[in-house]
Amino acid sequence: MKSNSFFSALPLFSKLGLLVFWLAVFIINAGPHWEVYVSNRELIETAGMVTALQMLVALVALTVLAPKVLDKGQVWRFCFYMFLMVLIASYINIVIRYFYLEPLYPLSYKGFLSMFGEMTFLQRIDPRWTMRYIIFSKLPNLVFPTVLILAYEFYQKQQSLLRISEQKRTAELDALKNQLNPHFIFNTLNNIYALALKKSDQTAVAIEKLSGILDYVVYRCTDKYVSLDAEVKLIEDYIALEKIRYGKRLDVSFENHITTPKKIAPLLLLTLLENACKHSTREELNQAQVVIQLETTESDIMVRISNSKPKTASPDTGQDKVGLNNLRKQLDLLYPNAHRFETIDSADEYVAQLVLETP
């Protein structure tokens, strides 16, 4: 992610925010013992010079080094260039002190001059002397504002990435639900269509059940997680619809052992049940069997749905797996590292087992 400019890349540091930030840095540079300065002018010039050099380092770091070096993962190169910037700023500091501050304010530099006053300018800028001075004195001082700003900018970028990730995650879930809901509605309407062809008295009951299911799917399961009891009611209505359609050809057993109130992502259980009913009854000449076992513990929701397989069942097509593929994607998004889903496909039975870790 690239930075824009020193002033626009940092949301916190608006023009007023920048002013307050650098004013605070100036006060820190002035130090708690302002009385050591002979005049307010000396205080402003001395602390102002250090603050200006810190701003120079921060400006170059944020507008040049961060977007062109650090954002590309070249951390050691960034550190090397930062050291060069501090070196340049330190030499500027030496020049200003030697030619301006020390001659103008000798009383403030009395202790320093008593030890190093005999050194010439060339001796002052000799790397053998200045490196120790820079590393132990000027490096921390010149770099700390830049470090604070970069740390905050990094925090802002991470927060932005988290927001983008959450938006992407929500969009993916909405897309999956939009893909799943028409899939379910299409199958259910086929059920009612079959009843209408038979002029069954159960057609009105089926439409009533479908109306309740659609009301739930469209209006009541828009939240990320819903009550498990509401999902159970949805399952019971769906079972009623399937029994109306197939009559004695389908035997559905629902073992419900909910002992702890739980929340669950909507439509997960319906996907498993729909898949079981569809594949158990397709091409089945005898009675199809579907067994649903739902159980809760303090930490888990456990679901096991098994269905019988017709002896002459044809292989599943890609279209047949739309529901289960959507289910796996939703589980990855809603229960990352907090679910176990497996299927067992034997000669005469298909089993889907799902365990969700819940608070």
pLDDT in tens, 308-339: 988 765 665 555 566 678 788 888 888 888 99
Least confident among 128-137, 244-253, 302-311, 332-341: 128-137
Please tell me the predicted confidence (pLDDT) of residue 5: 44
Nearest to 38 by CA among 109, 112, 115: 109
The CA distance from 50 to 89, in Å, is 9
Domain limits, CATH 3.30.565.10, in the chain: 200-357
Give the mean model confidence (pLDDT) for residues 245-268: 88
Q: Is the pLDDT of residue 261 over 50?
A: yes
pLDDT in tens, 167-205: 656 655 565 565 555 666 776 788 788 878 888 888 888
Least confident among 36-50, 256-270, 335-349: 36-50
Strand order, beta sheet including 300-308: 250-257, 288-296, 300-308, 349-357, 339-345
Give the mean model confidence (pLDDT) for residues 17-46: 82
Highest mean pLDDT among 36-45, 152-161, 262-271: 262-271
CATH for 200-357 is 3.30.565.10
Q: How many residues are given for the chain?
A: 359
- More confident position, 92 or 124: 92
Put residue 105 in one of left, alpha, beta given phi > 0 → left and psi -120 to 50 → alpha: beta
Nearest to 291 by CA among 349, 330, 249, 215: 349
The CA distance from 359 to 351, in Å, is 26
Please tell me the predicted confidence (pLDDT) of residue 263: 92
Strand, helix or coil at 290? strand
The CA distance from 234 to 240, in Å, is 10
